[in-house]
Amino acid sequence: MEKKERKILVAVDESEESMYALSWCISNLISDTNSNNKLVLLYVKPPPAVYSDATGYIFSTEAIAAMEKYSMKLADSVMERAKGIFNNLNANGINIERVVGIGDAKSVICKAVQKLEADTLVMGSHGYGFFKRALLGSVSDHCAKHAKCPVVIVRQP
Amino acid sequence: MEKKERKILVAVDESEESMYALSWCISNLISDTNSNNKLVLLYVKPPPAVYSDATGYIFSTEAIAAMEKYSMKLADSVMERAKGIFNNLNANGINIERVVGIGDAKSVICKAVQKLEADTLVMGSHGYGFFKRALLGSVSDHCAKHAKCPVVIVRQP
């Protein structure tokens, strides 16, 4: 009997912890014998609005383009680090999809769960920095409450 | 090479959702090929203090004994339901341990993670009823923040 494909969404960011969450996911959720797993790596870029500063100054289009370029480079570097983890764990056989979202991380992640029909969401407990966390609340808290699938919150020991 | 034993702690209660969380755990975290898994079922009974009512009346020892008996029956019935799930999923080969804790669910669960050196904690997102939740806060919220291991919050679809 063919098993239904299982889609696991892993939210990755610049944090060590999100890379640890990815390792945990590969080691614990993906059994070697079940090839019917699809792992979706989701990186969320901040929305363009974040670039306009609070004092009301308008950035030049060049500055915006530079920041946009920087944020794409960040996304690339996160995806590269993820690739390193697959190599280290000999997990290159896993079916992977890379997705970059734009917007408020917690909303984008929850929406992605529904749109991609993910069976499980895996993410680090922190991420997105202390100050953002204090201001906006924890991304993982929100997702644990609102994502429409089982959520794994991985804390780095 | 022998794999290190992996200990998965599943917090079970009277809720349908916690039984769903147990099923999810068996189907997603325990691969057939890896027999080095130990599944610990933890049921938490309320502390005796909960039996003294808010108006200050003291219950008779007979009443306390009756409530104590009722709470042990609840624990037994939850463990029986868990057994039914193992049967349904043909998972009787799994190494299982049953633990009954006493006290505030969220503290007992987090302490059990450390004491039992659990590698993963699995629990439902609700449980412990709407009113208790509103009064005391969500048990799963607390555990996702404070347990010293990856936490899986399972929401029943």
B149 pLDDT band, cuts 50/70/90, is very high
Closest-approach residue (CA) in chain A for B3 = A27
Query: Residue B60 pLDDT > 90, yes or no?
Result: no
- SS3 assignment for chain B: CCCCCEEEEEEECCCHHHHHHHHHHHHHCCCCCCCCEEEEEEEEECCHHHHCCCCCCCCCHHHHHHHHHHHHHHHHHHHHHHHHHHHHCCCCCCEEEEEEEECCHHHHHHHHHHHCCCCEEEEECCCCCHHHHHHHCCHHHHHHHHCCCCEEEECCC
Does the pLDDT at position B40 exceed 90?
yes
List beta partners, residue A98.
Answer: A41
Q: Is residue B19 within 8 angstroms of chain A, CB to CB?
A: no
Task: Write the residue in B24, B28, B144 that is nearest to A153 by C-beta.
Answer: B144
Please enumerate in sequence order all residues whose Cβ is within 8 A of that of A45, keeping only pairs 6 or more positions apart, or say none: A71, A72, A74, A75, A100, A101, A102
Look over chain A and give the mean of its residue pLDDT values, rounded to a whole number: 83
Lowest mean pLDDT among A1-10, A102-111, B131-140: B131-140
To probe the interface with B, which of A125, A155, A156 has the most B CB atoms within 10 Å? A155
Q: Is A28 in CB contact (< 8 Å) with chain B?
A: yes
pLDDT band at A1 (very low <50, low <70, confident <90, very high): very low
Cα separation, A51 vs B97, in Å, equals 53
Query: Using one digit for the tens of pLDDT, what is the confidence trace for B101-111?
Result: 988 899 999 99
Tell me the mean pLDDT in the region A53-65. Answer: 66
Whether B120 and chain A come into contact, CB under 8 Å, resolves to yes
Does the structure's ipTM exceed the value 0.85?
A: no
Question: What does the pLDDT look like over B133-144, one tens digit per residue?
Answer: 555 568 888 898
Average pLDDT, chain B: 83
Determine the residue of chain B that is closest to A20 in CA distance: B150
Q: Do B155 and A151 touch (CB under 8 A)?
A: yes
Q: What is the pLDDT of residue B30?
A: 85
Give the pLDDT score at B152: 95
Distance in angstroms (rounded) separating the CA atoms of residues B103 and B99: 13
Chain B positions touching A148 (Cβ under 8 A) are 155, 157
Kindly report the pTM of this predicted structure.
0.82
**Residue-wise pLDDT tens digits, A7-38:** 999 999 988 899 999 999 999 988 665 568 89
- B156 touching chain A per CB within 8 A: no
Mean local confidence (pLDDT), B113-117: 96
C-alpha–C-alpha distance, residues B101 and B79, integer Å = 13
- A151 and B150 in contact by Cβ < 8 A? no
Residues of A in contact with B145 (CB under 8 A): 125, 141
B69-95 pLDDT, tens digit each? 888 888 999 999 999 999 999 888 889
Contact A24 B145 (CB under 8 A): no
Residues 6+ apart with CB under 8 A from B105: B11, B13, B44, B128, B139
Distance in Å, alpha carbon of A117 to nearest chain B alpha carbon? 12
Residue type, position A13, single letter: D
d(CA B136, CA B83): 30
Across the interface, of B34, B141, B155, the residue whose CB is closest to A150 is B155
pLDDT number for residue B1: 45
Minimum distance, in Å, between the CA of residue B28 and any CA atom of chain A? 6
Residues contacting A29, CB < 8 A, separation 6+: A8, A37, A120, A122, A152, B28, B29
Question: In sequence order, what are the residues at sequence separation of 6 or more whose Cβ sits closer than 8 angstroms to the Cβ of residue B125?
Answer: A144, A145, B17, B138, B140, B153, B154, B155
How many beta-carbon pairs below 8 A join chains A and B? 65
**How far A63 CA sits from the closest chain B CA (Å)?**
38
Query: Which among B32, B120, B157 has CB closest to A28?
Result: B120
